[in-house]
Structure 1
Amino acid sequence: MLKKIGFIGLITLFLWSCGNEKVIQLPEVQHAKITEILDVSPAYIFYNETQPDSIELNRKNLIISTNWLFNVDKRLTLEQAIPKIKFLQDKKRNAKMHKNEAAKNYYTCNDTSIKNLGFIDFTDVNYVEEINSENNYIITINSLNDIAIHHNDVKLSEVDIDNLIIQLEKNFNKNEENTVLTLHLNKQLKFQDYITVKNRLQNLNFETIVIDNNEYIF
């Protein structure tokens, strides 16, 4: 059985299976909204340079009725990680026996602000490998320093992650009706940067902004 032998709160999880040590580097965040989850089972998506696609999945300990913790190595790109994540999402969504509708999916992170684990809920996220230009507001993310805001196919601005948050707080939170923001994510985006974006957006207290559950990978 695969066991965690590292210490909670460290960036790196050390695991061993059949006498072979494996290492997974968790994404880092600050001030995660969720810091405790009960009734869990883990999946591990490793960065493995010895594999042709540099990725390895271990899901032996997953129990359908529990909350699932996705421990994804921060060095992976979305192109590498998303197919494995979608595979596990489909496995849980399509389960016939022992299904628990209240059980959720979370990404595990290292919350540096509390020196412990934090978690990001992505239960309702659907990863779509195409581009959708029909939504009014689209946030295109190539990296944390290369983000574009589009409205009706017109580019409004090019920003980094900090200025994206500022613009959302300043310009979008004053709308009288809900504004739906759709994420377009470059497939070469590192998982660390993706989790940074997810955490920053989830920490915003918006009354009139909704993040689309469909996230488009291009």
Structure 2
Amino acid sequence: MRYLFFMVLLLCFSCGKDKVILLPEIENAKITEVLDVSPAYLFYNETLTDSIELNRKNIISTTNWLVNVDKRLTLKQAIPKIKFLQDKKRNAQMHKNENAKNYFTCNATSIKNLGFIEFTDVVYEFIESSLDFKQILTSYKKIDSVNELEDSLNIFSINFHEDHTIYMHKNSFKIEDLTTKIKELAKNPEYKKIQLKLTMSKSLTFQDYITFKSLVLELESDSISIDNNEFIY
């Protein structure tokens, strides 16, 4: 029923003159079903000054939120609206459900159905200047000796650039090599645990972001974690 509900709802929007929404695609989805939901929509609308339109009329604070973002929007356009929705839910004073979560809706190509990426605890932060960006990158704790605490966390910044190149500790590679590079890093005997911090260009499309995020989420394990703070510059 969930699949039919969303397919009909999206088709209804598609029948309108300016209510077409193109969901981002992912290959695999860890989450394929979410119950007790309310939808919100971020449309790509070229007739508006900032090319984005938010529809949240039917959203209920106590439910799980499915945020449907048009894949053509840039992070500069989409993230402020997403933060607005997050704040609405986090700051709700009445009818609050601490167990309700937030998800991005995607087309999961491997199952030819909808898939979902949770972002309940993600904190998005815009970096306004190159100086701020440099300070963030240099503030991460670095472990130089294997003799330090066994549970010490080795933190690595992954910068997804607008040219689709990934930069990590003076190294650069294409996004299709991300999984291999991180797994190789995790095998280093000097690192018991590593944490990935994500930084991204605001010029990236939401499809770019979802592709990047889904690859990173697949890497989560006992030895690899992902920081909830994500930086957009």
The TM-score normalised by the length of structure 2 is 0.82
What CA deviation, in whole Å up to 9, does each residue of 1:43-78 have, x standing for no partner? 000000000010000000110000000000000000
- 1:28–1:112 CA contact under 8 A, matched in 2: yes
Structure 1 match to 2:232: 217
Gaps of 5+ in 2: 128-132, 141-154
- Structure showing greater Rg: 2
Structure 2 match to 1:161: 175
Identical counterparts, % of pairs: 56
Gaps of 5+ in 1: none
Q: Give the 3 Å change call, closer, same or farther, for CA 6–66 of structure 1 in structure 2.
A: closer
For residues 121 and 101 of structure 2, what CA distance do their matches in structure 1 show?
9
Q: Give the 3 Å change call, closer, same or farther, for CA 30–49 of structure 1 in structure 2.
A: same
Q: Give the 3 Å change call, closer, same or farther, for CA 148–62 of structure 1 in structure 2.
A: same
Give, in angstroms, the shift of residue 206 of structure 1.
2.4
Q: Residue type matched to 2:76 in 1?
A: E
Structure 1 match to 2:108: 111
- 1:181–1:209 CA contact under 8 A, matched in 2: yes
For residues 188 and 32 of structure 2, what CA distance do their matches in structure 1 show?
30
Q: 1 or 2, which has the higher helix percentage?
A: 2
Q: 1 or 2, which has the higher strand percentage?
A: 1
Structure 2 match to 1:139: 158
Q: Residue type matched to 1:162 in 2?
A: E
Between the two proteins, the alignment pairs up a number of residues equal to 206
Runs of 4+ in 1 over 6 A off after TM superposition: none
> Bigger CA drift: 135-144 or 170-179?
170-179
- 1:29–1:111 CA contact under 8 A, matched in 2: yes
For residues 43 and 26 of structure 1, what CA distance do their matches in structure 2 show?
13
For residues 215 and 45 of structure 2, what CA distance do their matches in structure 1 show?
28
1:21-100 mapped onto 2 (5 Å cutoff):
22-100=19-97
Q: Residue type matched to 1:209 in 2?
A: I
What SS does structure 2 have at the residue aligned with 1:166?
Answer: helix
For residues 205 and 187 of structure 2, what CA distance do their matches in structure 1 show?
28
Give, in angstroms, the shift of residue 205 of structure 1.
4.6
For residues 38 and 206 of structure 2, what CA distance do their matches in structure 1 show?
21
Q: Give the 3 Å change call, closer, same or farther, for CA 142–64 of structure 1 in structure 2.
A: same
Alignment root-mean-square deviation, CA: 2.1
Q: Give the 3 Å change call, closer, same or farther, for CA 43–105 of structure 1 in structure 2.
A: same
